[in-house]
Amino acid sequence: VLGLAVTVILQLLFPFLIQAMVDEGVNSQDFDFVLLILLAWSVLFLSQMLVEHLRSWILLHLGVRANINLISDFLIKIVRLPIRFFDQKMTTDLLKRIYDNERVERLLTTSSLVTVFSSISILLMGLVLLYFDLTIFLIFLAGTMLHLMWVLRFMEVRKELDYKRFDQAAENQGKLIELIGGMQEIKLHNAETQKRWEWERTEAKLFRVGMRYLAVDQRQRLGAQLLNELKNILIIVFAAKAVIEGSLTIGVLLAVMYILGQLNAPINQLVEFIKSAQDAKISLERMNEIHQRENEENPAEKITILPEVGDLRLEGVSFQYGGPGSPLILKELDLTFPKGKTTAVVGSSGSGKTTLLKLLLNIYQPTEGAIKLGDINLNNFQSRLWRSKCGSVLQDGYLFSDSIARNIGLGDEIVDDQRLFYATRMANIQSFIESLPLGYNTRIGADGVGLSQGQKQRILIARAIYKDPEFLFFDEATNALDAYNEMVIMENLAEFLSRKTLVIVAHRLSTVMNADQIIVLENGEVVERGTHEYLSRQQGAYYHLLRNQLELGS
């Protein structure tokens, strides 16, 4: 603020220095006075440069802090949203909204402060023009108002095109991510040309929207420049005529010309601020769409201490992914998962097995009915509390671009070595990790790039064991393993699982047959339940699955 005030005051002195140098120095042929004015001019100029330099550093500091705060607040909101939100939103859409923070940051820091400076400069320089001549001031005022009105005329069409450009840019970025991420499948199916053309079509759409946006921006800019120059010409013509008639001095004419030259930048900055303000408003609207979404839960209203663990029960649970009218994935399920027992869920592909596990993990909420731990509804617990008691290996489990140790000890800032070694031994991955040059500190690529599917799956199993949870949920947790590795892992886990509640979705007979309870799902309904021996004797749905060796699909 101090720098802003100093800069404005310094700039305000220049017109009077010009007038004094011409009228008092040149006209009076006083060269010493001219040198004095030039010395004062040099001092003011150097002072202005120093203030501008300091102001730039301050703006950079403010900009970085504002950007960090904006993105941090946005990410805090993102991680509080339910999983269903991410099922409905494209990753690129969220990334573009994060990039939108930059426009808001520019408005709050650089643009705002520069515009305050520009507005004060326009006001004070305008008052100097009024001091010199009323007519010159009125021409300046009318021209500036026309200039701003012309700029505002294009705001609505710019907003419409900005939304279109945002959507096209998100789609374009999505195509690029698909192209790079799916390169193996693209090459295997000779789809290089097809996928490249798909990207080129989205790029062409983005180009067309960009050209329309550019055309509007050019019309806006050219019209504004024309009005600004006409205003300047009218003022100079009037001032020159006044000098000829003797009502103004040459010094005043030069001072007016200097002021007009100095006002071009502030007026342009004011116009750019108006456009930046609109861009930031659009960006805030897009960010606000996310901020207005309901959080997954309100922790203050939830139970924060887990009572003595009992059976996990489903009472009349139904679930659908869409709104009313969409098909039910699960239909009126009444199930009990006994404490400390193993329950296997089997069924053909699309029967609702994975959805059931995600309901038990509180990733999704039942459309109807309730899931209870003992006699307490699972929704009454904080999700973080419940999930801290759960270990899971899902089909779409994710490995991060980090060390193997930090991937297994996910959620812990400092990984517990004892638990880490135990988990990797149980998951039969310890010998592989220790054979690597960097061992547990070996970095792996995002989503397990550089690992086989079996190695990735064993690391995910180790992650679940590392938590030492009371509940374990396995969804095809060993489907990428060979029979030997699966047997070793299940033997290793026998003692560990003896005191855990395990719910397992599997398609291998060896994994299912030893379960304390087997639930058979078909089209979202329970068609059979019981032990392996009992269901085999019934010769029903489970028996027919047995005849296919439980190769049920994932």
pLDDT, one tens digit per residue, over 503-516 is 999 877 777 888 89
Q: What is the pLDDT of residue 356?
A: 93
Q: What is the mean pLDDT of the chain?
A: 83
**283-285-289 Cα angle (round to 5):** 115
**161-211-172 Cα angle (round to 5):** 70
- Residue ranges and CATH numbers for the domains of the chain are 2-291 (1.20.1560.10), 397-468 (3.40.50.300)
- Torsion region of 261: left, alpha or beta (phi above 0 gives left; psi -120 to 50 gives alpha): alpha
| Tokens (6 digits) for 361 | 């993990």
Q: How confident is the model at residue 292 (pLDDT cuts 50, 70, 90)?
A: confident
- Do 245 and 122 form a contact (C-beta atoms < 8 A)? no
**Which residues neighbour 355 within 8 Å (Cβ) at sequence distance 6 or greater?**
319, 329, 330, 364
Give the mean pLDDT of 162-166: 88
Total-model pTM: 0.72
DSSP-assigned letters across all residues of 42-96: HHHHHHHHHHHHHHHHHHHHHHHHHHHHHHHHHHHHHHTS-HHHHHHS-HHHHHH
Q: How confident is the model at residue 236 (pLDDT cuts 50, 70, 90)?
A: confident
Q: What is the pLDDT of residue 551?
A: 47
Q: What is the pLDDT of residues 525-549, one digit of tens each?
A: 999 999 998 998 888 888 888 777 5
Give the mean pLDDT of 86-114: 75
Q: How confident is the model at residue 9 (pLDDT cuts 50, 70, 90)?
A: low
Range among 10-24, 131-145, 452-466 with highest mean pLDDT value: 452-466
Q: What is the pLDDT of residue 440?
A: 92
Helix (H, G, I), strand (E, B) or coil at 355: helix
Would you call 343 exposed, middle or buried from its count of C-beta atoms within 10 A (0-12, 13-18, 19+)?
Answer: buried
Residue 420 has pLDDT above 90, yes or no: yes
Lowest mean pLDDT among 301-310, 419-428, 513-522: 301-310
Cα 455 from Cα 12, distance rounded (Å): 72
Question: Phi and psi at residue 461, in whole multiples of 5°?
Answer: -65, -40
Task: For the chain, give the percent of residues with pLDDT over 70.
Answer: 89
Q: How confident is the model at residue 338 (pLDDT cuts 50, 70, 90)?
A: very high
Cα 318 from Cα 365, distance rounded (Å): 10
